[in-house]
Amino acid sequence: LRVLYELRRLQPQPSIEHLALGGTIQGDAYSLAPTMAELVLRGIGWNAIFLGSSLPIPSLIKAIHENRPSLFWLSVSYVDPSVDFISEFGELSKICTDSGVALAVGGRALTEDLRRQMVYSAYCDTMQQLESFAKTLISHPARGAASRKPSASR
């Protein structure tokens, strides 16, 4: 993480035109992947801000309402079995859809079964996929804004 923070410090100041926010859900303390996502997005011109790890979904929703990003990324490395993840994620997804915010998700805890129950703009297995998706949003802003249900082939 120290190396990633040093790399972030060395990156040029991103454009304020393209705001991206991201984080992890409550109980998910993993910060390496979402920090890498922030760097990848900043590297292609996004003003990407990693909000932090283990944040309650209502806090993520509040950040979306207050900041109106074009892109929100959610890294999910752990899902607390005592939490109704699908229901809580559904609230986040609805806010993104209603606000025109593209929602990119990724992480090792997002099994195929979970993903079938989720609505999002993009599922990214790799940072390259996140980068490609984010580039399309800069080129064609309206393309990723409407979240969609993933197809069965995903």
pLDDT at site 126: 97
pLDDT at site 152: 38
Q: How far, in Å, CA of 55 to CA of 83, rounded? A: 13
pLDDT at site 139: 81
Contact indicator for 93, 122 with CB cutoff of 8 Å: no
pLDDT at site 44: 92
pLDDT at site 8: 56
pLDDT at site 17: 80
Q: Are strands 122-123 and 19-25 parallel, antiparallel or unpaired?
A: unpaired
The angle at the Cα of 143, spanning 140 to 148, to the nearest 5 degrees, equals 165
Extract the residue ranges of the chain whose pLDDT is less than 50.
143-154
